[in-house]
Structure 1
């Protein structure tokens, strides 16, 4: 892998999305707020609260097992043991029963991990059961890795999963080796060939790519995006690398791009994909505007999580299920859901959070804040809105006084904010995993 300062074949347009100092200030502001708000207190709670009339909910199910653990991954996961995984899926379906008894129904289901397809037959049984319990589910999203997508059992998910997201990260072998994926999933060329098979199985096939590595050339990113254009999946997600407290110490601070390095890489992605895809969020691209995507928090103000380590946001509170597999099994056996932590937020914090999501999703509407939160966003978050205007991140829409336009700089700022937010959430996961002992795993 070559250095970012070497001559590149790909030359981006001569413009800066944001000055370096503004990216740094945004990171520091996000660090202040995430440290202030993102911590959860222990709580003795049999169940999360019941649903509220007229509210729309998404069901999130977490599968915390992988055959191997990627060094950069900060999600809640354990090394796969079949007997533990099968027992876990049984408990997951029991937790669905408890949620159903509370009166919940869901419009969508998202299955995340870990490797959700670790045992396809159990995953199929779980999704089928969810659709039976919650008849309003119209879309099921799922994640998998490039190794499993050509196995015979994988085809059984056709017709059951509406959106399959495949973690590729890069077709560049140097990046795959740096991220410890080359030995696990094969070369970029092998992965590309498998994707051509998988994309025909589901209404939406999403390819997860990654950027933000230090030393990752604009050429390699441009080549990755050109391969995506030729592959022509319905959707592409381009995540920035996120460094957290769980990132391996030997590479921490040495692998992540900084400031305008990240901005140049981002512009390369936008410039390459922009003529072929709609820009759905700061890091998601799709063929049409009406597609579901990984950041379900954009479409759903409230969601309920089941499984070990799952998060729920209901009403004014964040609820977190136990990260211990042992305690999760014990709670389910006692007739409880997995909730063991809670963090309640005031209205101001919630509106700030939704402003960040609106910037990230390019959907900022004054009407939304009036109707849902009962506030005039321009006055309620005066300092935040002023800062976004001065940064050139937002503009008024001259044709619609309720609509706020997110500029190209604003889209990148939304990416920087969400990157910091998700990194902070990963630090929360690290804090909750730290006390686990061998018997908890």
Structure 2
């Protein structure tokens, strides 16, 4: 069963300097076209109204950048094709400053249960340098308004290891973020991605990230402060009051299936990963033609499934279950990955229990190096045949 739905709304009032997601400057007429194309795509996959799903996540771009009428139209499309009332989590991304009373009321009335706010940093000068439109006061206004309307399941996203950011500066951002005492926080180190403003500056020597040692110290501070304030780390970059973990993101980390709708969206269905067209004209044209605006379909065999089970599962603090692995693939984890597990355990990066393997605290600092050990070569592949 496909348990989750991701819907991409690619419009932004301003393009952030670090963002490499599919995004376009918002224009009303473009958004009108997009809504029609998006519904056509959804209808081509969902053959009956009110399909039951576990989670729905509307991301971007900036879903709240569209106008009130378009937001209502989007919410009605989702309500038509999916059984929102039985959904365990229905989440919208939002930028601080976008959420006026009308939009908040619409989200609440149509069953949205969780808001993920892209705050990034509590420093107005740094927000400007990131290309963000909002300011600190907008965060306070929007959180207050959401709570007043009963939308209390709020998450804040932060970015650390920013240009010019020091450990003490990040500590101030953490302190202010935690004053809200929200049920969920995400914090990611800055990644300089191609085709972004930051990448161009980096290539010209005009942008400098903090040293690796300082970035690691920021991560340690993050874990320490979140734990101190009762937000338990359940994934490398995510912290929550128990019971408020992101159910939708756990779909990804548990390597479960999900639909991906919208320009540049990725979907994961049994045996295949579907990647949609990114350019606006191409997406709209193909979605209106046959409802399948697909750039390419990647076949996912047992090898890739097992690798992803390890890569994604090890991001979670509870790690990967050996029992679940055997149930999914009909193979003992030790028979496939015994050598890698022994090597990483001896290195102090992995911890093994009777039924699980998981990253140690030190191992979480070297995640990419750990994940690389779970790539299967041709000899190991023979065991999966």
- Provide TM-score, normalisation by structure 1: 0.75
1:272 is displaced (CA, Å) by 1.0
Structure 1 gap segments, 5+ residues each? 1-54, 419-441
Residue in 2 aligned with 1:127?
A: 75
In 2: Cα distance, 1:177 partner to 1:329 partner? 32
Contact 1:163 1:203 in 2 (8 A): yes
In 2: Cα distance, 1:391 partner to 1:246 partner? 37
- Counterpart of 2:265 (choices 310, 323, 328) is 310
Q: Secondary structure at the match of 1:85?
A: helix
- In the alignment, is residue 196 of structure 1 matched against residue 144 of structure 2? yes
- Counterpart of 2:28 (choices 82, 87, 92) is 82
1:371 is displaced (CA, Å) by 0.9
- 1:224-279 alpha-carbon deviations (Å, 9 max, x no partner): 11112211111111011111212321235633334332211100111111122111
Contact 1:116 1:142 in 2 (8 A): yes
1:120 is displaced (CA, Å) by 3.6
Structure 2 gap segments, 5+ residues each? 372-385
Residue in 2 aligned with 1:29?
A: none
- Counterpart of 2:59 (choices 112, 132, 138) is 112
In 2: Cα distance, 1:178 partner to 1:333 partner? 38
Q: Which moved more, 1:408-417 or 1:384-393?
A: 408-417
Alignment RMSD: 2.5
1:416 is displaced (CA, Å) by 8.0
Contact 2:5 2:258 in 1 (8 A): yes
Contact 1:196 1:231 in 2 (8 A): no
- Counterpart of 1:372 (choices 325, 328, 336) is 328
Contact 2:11 2:26 in 1 (8 A): yes
In 1: Cα distance, 2:48 partner to 2:348 partner? 46
Q: Secondary structure at the match of 2:15?
A: coil
Q: Which moved more, 1:65-74 or 1:157-166?
A: 157-166
Residue in 2 aligned with 1:347?
A: 302
Q: Which has the higher contact order (CA 8 A, sep 6+)?
A: 1
Contact 1:58 1:300 in 2 (8 A): no
In 2: Cα distance, 1:180 partner to 1:357 partner? 30
Residue in 1 aligned with 2:128?
A: 177
In 1: Cα distance, 2:254 partner to 2:95 partner? 25
**Number of aligned pairs?**
358
Contact 1:212 1:240 in 2 (8 A): yes
In 1: Cα distance, 2:217 partner to 2:271 partner? 38
Residue in 1 aligned with 2:281?
A: 326
Describe the shift of the 1:384–1:317 C-alpha distance in structure 2 as closer, same or farther (beyond 3 A): farther
Contact 1:92 1:306 in 2 (8 A): yes
Q: Which moved more, 1:188-197 or 1:72-81?
A: 188-197
- 1:386-407 alpha-carbon deviations (Å, 9 max, x no partner): 343133222123xxx1123432
Contact 1:64 1:78 in 2 (8 A): yes
- In the alignment, is residue 222 of structure 1 matched against residue 171 of structure 2? yes
Describe the shift of the 1:199–1:359 C-alpha distance in structure 2 as closer, same or farther (beyond 3 A): farther
Describe the shift of the 1:165–1:86 C-alpha distance in structure 2 as closer, same or farther (beyond 3 A): same
- Counterpart of 2:233 (choices 257, 279, 285) is 279
Contact 1:56 1:106 in 2 (8 A): yes
Q: Secondary structure at the match of 1:285?
A: strand
In 2: Cα distance, 1:269 partner to 1:300 partner? 26
Q: Which moved more, 1:376-385 or 1:290-299?
A: 290-299
Q: Which moved more, 1:376-385 or 1:91-100?
A: 376-385
